[in-house]
Amino acid sequence: MAAQSMAAALAASLPAAAATPAPAAPTYEAIPASMSKVIDVEADIQLTSVQLDGLVVAKILKHAREVSSIANAHGLLLGLDLDGTLEVSNSFPLPHHLADDDEKSSKSVARYQTSMLRSLKEVQADDGVVGFYQTSSLGAFFSQNLVDTQALHQDKLRHGGVVVVHDVSQTTRGNPSFRAFRLTPQFLDAYKKTNFSTTSLANHQLTFSTILEEIPLKIRTNPLLKSFLGELATPTGSPLTDATPDKATVSAIPPSFSALNLNSGSSTRNLEQITETLDNYRTEEGNIGYITRVIAREKAKAEAHMAKRKEENADRISKGLAPLPEEDAYRLFKIPNEPSRLESMLLLGQLDALAKSLGQTSATSLVKLYGATAGSG
Amino acid sequence: MPSEDTKERIAKVVDVTRTVMHYGWIPLIIYVGFTRSNPQPSLINRTPTSITIHPVALFSILDHYLRRKDDQPRVIGTLLGTRTTSSSDSSTSENEIHVHSSFAVLHSENSEQVAVDMEYHRTMYELHTKVHPKDVIVGWYSTGGEGNLNTYSALIQNFYGQETAPNMAVHVNLSTGLEEGSQAGVKGYVSSPVGVFPKPENCVFVPIPVHLQFERSGVDLLTSTAQLPSSISSQPISELESLESSLQNVSEMLDRVLGYVRSVLSGEVKGDPALGRYLMDTLGTSTDDLEKGGFTSRLQDTLTFSYLSNLVRSQAEVSSRLALVTS
């Protein structure tokens, strides 16, 4: 009853409670209004924002840099939620598992996860899993893997968990970006039914933009980190007496102006990726088209059979014979299930994100171009 | 006059001394050379000469320090990273230690004894190698500035020396700057034994240089966040915003230079010729080559990109809407 007595103590310290003497026995049924935002057992308070600690930012950046650009780095986020803000205070990377021996690797990942959490708990670190992070390049983070993991988390974790997406290509341009997402309820509903046919999509009003909803993300540095960074960035006099003016002061973190770099880079790679995704999308569309045609053909066959059977039956009835059963007709023809549109939807989402990132890059480089000519003119 | 007996005895002593000197001289020189030189050379030259540390390791240490128990004056943990040996000259080889990350280790110390949870340390190391197979244990860290280098530090150093054998363990001491009169900072040490008989609790911590290695943009983001009064910044920052802040920064610096130049011209401050030359070199850079054709072609490229990206996006949108149409 530590929380209750704490609540009582806090209620007693409030001015309103001080005027009327607080009852000696703590009330057990109602949580005081002042604590209702802190004690949130049932996770009733909706998440409104995600707050990343500086440590987590550094860890994700490091992990993203270490993993090659083809594979996406991913790891778990640890933290707590408080009054609608999900405070992510720690993270650890997950081992990159290969596609083969899936069964074995997933087991070892699970074992790794549990023993890591136990170890972190021993040194008083947060050990509540609140989501996971994934790195992507050029904004294309939509993937089957991400959706699967997040759907799994949304069931298991408190508040459903979040996914934090980090864009590597923006980091190399000097502007690291972190975004937090969560699956929308309508997508989750469709996902649980594993029904991504056209009618289901239309019922749930799903397009690629309604798969995920974004949660505002903030970055926070704790006061200790703040003072430490400040100390590192403070320039001190060089030990050399005859240093040139550009070397007269040294600091562990010199100021940088990478944002002023005129070369925006990576446009070619961006275009290549767009073409690649377009090709994939075409293939996927071809598959869907093929299956749709097969369905139409089989349906036509079945209907023709039915019409024939009806005719036959009418004939038989007129002749005074017992009619043949009609319902087995559909069983004679194997009509395939309607194709899942999830894959093509995800590909479209990827395409959109890639194009968006290209658009942003070109917009910035336009500004830089005009700025540079104005400066030199 | 000494007797014949005494003479013979002296001759014998001289003879023995000569033999001892003959065989003992070189070992003596080596011994003196070993104990007097600094830093201590080891038989295999593996003494680290510098430490390069990644901010993640430092931030983890700070986080660990924040989460320490009340009765813990300092926290310790393991440093993980790689060793590189590059021989810059023929005679001296550089032994650099790259610290990539760190993890906290449980320990307790009081006036009588010090205990380190070795099992925890091993478990964490095994977990870490699953993700980063190349990283090895390179040393340990503790918080609390130079004043905290005591006998226990020597004992822990000895323990980590066994873990990193045959290489030497390094020690990184991070001062959080929270105690009065101490400045936040990072110092690196290697240890060398002192005394005639090597004992684990006797050692000298020899300072070695520490460098910081980081992803530029990540640290920029954190420092800019730290400079805000609320120390909370929201994401994502658009590229134009970061460009704008950079430009403002440059503009402020230009103003400062302008102020200095004006005050030199008006004679208030005596001009520094080195500074003047430097300013001329920096600001006199020609931007003529930007004009020649580069601009137009670049502009056309960029506009094409922009057009293409908009086209692809609208097509994707249309396509996703069309998928919803049921027959």
Asked if the Cβ–Cβ distance from A175 to B63 is below 8 Å, we say no
CB contacts of A372 in chain B (<8 Å) are 287, 290
Is B236 within 8 Å of chain A by CB?
Answer: yes
Query: Across-strand partners of A136?
Result: A167
The pLDDT of residue A279: 92
| 3-class secondary structure, A69 | coil
User: What phi and psi, each to the nearest 5 degrees, are found at residue B182?
Assistant: -110, 150
DSSP string, A165-206: EEEHHHHHTT--EEEEEEE-HHHHHHHHTT--SHHHHHHHT-
Highest average pLDDT, of A29-38, A175-184, A235-244, A253-262, comes from A175-184
Structure tokens at B128: 């870490």
Mean pLDDT of chain A: 75
Asked if the Cβ–Cβ distance from A205 to B324 is below 8 Å, we say yes
Question: Over 50: is that where the pLDDT of A15 sits?
Answer: no
CB contacts of A360 in chain B (<8 Å) are 238-239
Question: Over 80: is that where the pLDDT of B135 sits?
Answer: yes
| Closest B-chain CA to A265 | B302
Is B104 within 8 Å of chain A by CB?
Answer: yes
The pTM (predicted TM-score) of the whole model is 0.76
CB contacts of B225 in chain A (<8 Å) are 54, 219-221
Q: Give the closest residue to A49 by CA, choosing from B225, B234, B227.
A: B234
Asked if the Cβ–Cβ distance from A364 to B66 is below 8 Å, we say no
Which of the 8 DSSP states describes residue A328? T
Identify from B187, B215, B235 which residue to disrupt to test chain A contact, counting A C-beta atoms within 10 A and taking the largest count: B235
Which of A201, A222, A355 is opposite residue B313, by nearest beta carbon? A355
CB contacts of B249 in chain A (<8 Å) are 255, 257
The pLDDT of residue A29: 58
Q: How far apart are CA A264 and CA A250, in angstroms?
A: 29
Q: A123-169 pLDDT, tens per residue?
A: 777 778 888 888 887 777 777 778 888 887 777 777 778 888 888 77
Please report which confidence band the pLDDT of residue A314 belongs to, taking 50, 70 and 90 as the band edges.
confident
- Answer yes or no: are the C-beta atoms of A115 and A78 closer than 8 Å: no
Asked if the Cβ–Cβ distance from B120 to A119 is below 8 Å, we say yes
Is B132 within 8 Å of chain A by CB?
Answer: yes
Question: A269: which residues sit within 8 A by CB, 6+ positions away?
Answer: A138
Tell me the residue type at B151: T
The pLDDT of residue B234: 75
H or E element, residue A259: none
Farthest CA pair distance, chain B = 135
Least confident of A195-204, B9-18, B81-90, B96-105: B81-90
Farthest CA pair distance, chain A = 119
Identify from B52, B58, B126, B127 which residue to disrupt to test chain A contact, counting A C-beta atoms within 10 A and taking the largest count: B127
Q: How far apart are CA A259 and CA B242, in angstroms?
A: 7
Please report which confidence band the pLDDT of residue A192 belongs to, taking 50, 70 and 90 as the band edges.
confident
What number is the ipTM of this complex? 0.74
Which of A217, A256, A366 is opposite residue B216, by nearest beta carbon? A256
